[in-house]
Amino acid sequence: MSQASTSSQMSAGAPALEAWPEVPPMGPGRPGEGRRPRGETITTTSRNTVGFREYLKYKELFVNLTLRELRSKYKRSVIGWGWSMINPLANMLIYMIVFSVLLRVPPMVGIPSHLHTYALMYLSAMLPFSMWQGSIMESMPAMLGNQNLIQKTWFPRELIPAATVASKLISHLIEMALLLVVVVAVGNFRALEFAPGVLVTMAVITMFALGMALLFSVANVYWRDIQHFSNILFFIWMFLTPVVYPYWEIGGGINGTPKNGVGGLVAPRMVHLFGHVFSLGTLFKANPMTDAILTMQSFIYDGSLPGTTHRVLFSVLGPTGLPLTATSAQFASAANGAVLQAAHAGYSCSVVSKGVSCLVASPVSWFDVCYFAVWALALFVIGLSVFRKFSARLPEEL
């Protein structure tokens, strides 16, 4: 059979294969003949990005990648998904011993829920922070772990870190559902009322995590030190966020339990920087995760909307440490002294028949919520843009 007939049969009987773009010939006898020109990149396709509507075509791949992350996380583990709760509970026990027992730091008082439990205060902050941190940390090696898949076929590379973030979100939903059950069981039924707010906050935290996951995952391909540096970064970041300690330690608020007569109002800590005086709580709120954690605690622990001001009744204690009544001779002087002391700390209080009534604002305002939402949106846009820009060279960098 002739060569011409063979080629005609192949073109008629089999689908044509798309040829790779060839290297332009360099000419006979010229140096570097047959070599790829310096600086030319190798890509498995000429397409590097897709439009947002086109992501729907890859939804099945995204679901499969997410399910693979979920199945492989606790594969061949006896306890399985139980580790998703054992780890935060073990951390809670350690920090509770350090802060609540050894350092004797009173936990935050939930207003109006009146919760005063370090464990619930810690879990309502640590669970969302762990989801955010874990999403970024586990996304960093994801591109290296899917090296064969990236080099063999083309698909939107951003689906890989997005699947890791989605798997962490699913685990977080289970953990938060269990926490809500516990919070309701101890008497804070208002947490169910603000469950939609919890879901919205989780969505914003997820968007923030996805933006940073895109940045860190693609950066880790080019600079492998990123993964090792991030362990130090997020450890410091956790202590710059009121997770293991109550916010009143830095931003002021209620210290103790007002209903038992041993609560007091603490003024915000002030620091001097560049010739100006700043509240330490205000500086900590420059960290967007501080606003995210305080918003979560407002919904779950306090049972209140952000930006709400509550009137809190404080008992007036006498020299013996027992609450004074309005008929006591020492009540008026002690109550007026407490009002002046609270005014010096920046609170508005008045004397009532049962003690001292003070206006206490929520530690997080709607401005803080919007500030965090803007940060989350900005990081998502920046992360997606940077990832798309550098994803073209992933096959050869891997």
- Say what the pLDDT of residue 258 is: 61
d(C-alpha 239, C-alpha 359), whole Å: 29
Residue type, 313: L
Nearest to 293 by CA among 111, 136, 125, 173: 125
- Say what the pLDDT of residue 322 is: 67
Nearest to 296 by CA among 86, 129, 100, 106: 129
Find all residues with CB under 8 Å of 111, minimum gap 6, and list them: 254, 302, 304, 310, 312, 360, 362
d(C-alpha 256, C-alpha 335), whole Å: 18
How far from the centroid of its chain's Cα atoms is residue 34's Cα? 51
d(C-alpha 64, C-alpha 124), whole Å: 30
What string of pLDDT tens digits covers the 398 residues of the chain? Answer: 444 444 444 444 443 333 333 334 444 444 444 444 444 444 444 455 667 777 888 889 899 999 988 888 777 777 777 777 787 788 888 888 888 788 788 888 888 888 888 889 999 999 999 999 999 999 998 888 888 888 888 888 899 999 999 999 998 998 899 899 999 998 889 999 999 999 999 999 999 999 999 999 999 988 888 888 899 999 999 999 999 999 988 988 887 666 554 567 888 888 888 888 888 999 999 999 999 999 999 999 999 999 988 888 887 776 666 677 777 777 788 888 888 888 887 888 888 887 888 888 899 999 999 999 999 999 999 999 999 888 878 777 76
- Say what the pLDDT of residue 398 is: 64
Dihedral (CA of 362, 368, 373, 376) sign: negative
Provide the greatest CA pair distance for the chain: 120
- Say what the pLDDT of residue 50 is: 66
- Asked if 330 contacts 318 with a C-beta cutoff of 8 angstroms, the reply is yes
Residue type, 315: S
Nearest to 296 by CA among 230, 256, 247, 226: 247
Q: What is the strand order of the sheet 348-352 is part of?
A: 309-314, 355-361, 348-352
